[in-house]
Amino acid sequence: MNTLPRPFPIPVVAAGPGSHEDEALDYLEMPQGMAVYQAPSLPEPEQLSGHDGALAALRQTLAAVQACVRGETPAPVALAGLTTTELALLHQVLGEGEVSAQVLADDGQPLVQVQESVFAGVWRVLERGADGHVADTIECGAVPQALLRAAREDGASPAVAAAAPPPGVMNAPAILTELAEQRHQWRPGQPAHVVNLTLLPLSPEDIAWLDHVLGTGRVVVLSRGYGNCRVTDTGVPDTWRVVYYNSQDKVILNSVEVCAVPEVVCAAAEDLADSAERLDEVLQWVARG
């Protein structure tokens, strides 16, 4: 078992910033439900009996989450050497949470696959190396480091050469200037600067020019917390595209955020503390059995 069980459900394509093509009032249906914590269907204690590798990985995961709560940065928990049965039991305990992500290669194939567990801040990470070897780990923290690394690399790529915008471009240059100023001023730890594109009058030429200048990075994240939210990095530093969809997959909010990573992707400190408590309860239940 060395692949994530759920396919990435939203096509990996750049989302245009949205435009006001329809002048009539057309109220979009808002999301109908919110994803909430659901306890995983735990295996019976006797099913884990004898599978010391799975139990050891769970104990290491708990220790890593507790380290995160203390403000530390723990090393990932390596799953190499676990049997297929142990991996299946581990996945049954961790379940699947609301956030999944990919880092794509140039050919569109995933270099990194990430699935959050039902314990917020506990991530299953599959990373394919240059030699084709796949590292299977559990990483604990606000966001997997592989996503941040890829976004930094994308932001360090050569910028699009400055050029005059083509005919039909009206508001995109002002938006790009605002984003550039915010990138220059923004520092880690500061709140994200959000430009809501949904509310702006953007022509198709504006959309194309924004896409051209910002570019599209390799990181794609899907959060299912309240409706669906797709997050993609861009080809410029600390700049992300964030698009929210309703239950009918219509765009209800389209924005650009200047930050290290959008908040919708991250597990909060309170989430990590809650995950540590719940994972500890699971291991106590197993021990009692």
pLDDT top residue among 84 and 162: 84
Burial of 13 per CB tally in 10 Å (0-12, 13-18, 19+): exposed
pLDDT classification of 123: cutoffs 50, 70, 90: very high
Mapping DSSP to helix (H, G, I), strand (E, B) and coil, where does residue 185 land? helix
Asked if 112 and 128 touch (Cβ cutoff 8 Å), the reply is yes
* Across 159-179, average pLDDT: 87
pTM higher than 0.85: no
Q: How much helix, strand and coil, in percent to the nearest 5, is found in the chain? A: 35, 20, 45
* Across 211-216, average pLDDT: 91
Please, which residues bridge with residue 223 across strands? 99, 229
Give me the domains of the chain, ranges plus CATH numbers: 37-142+267-289 (3.30.1370.140), 145-266 (3.30.1370.140)
Q: What pLDDT is recorded for position 15?
A: 46
Task: Look at residues 76, 89, 81, 239 and name the one whose alpha carbon lies nearest to residue 151.
Answer: 239
Q: Give the contacts of 4 (CB within 8 A, at least 6 positions apart).
A: 100, 113, 114, 115, 124, 126
Q: What pLDDT is recorded for position 224?
A: 87
pLDDT classification of 89: cutoffs 50, 70, 90: confident
pLDDT tens digits along 21-71: 444 434 444 444 545 555 666 666 666 666 688 889 999 999 999 999 999
Asked if 233 and 248 touch (Cβ cutoff 8 Å), the reply is no
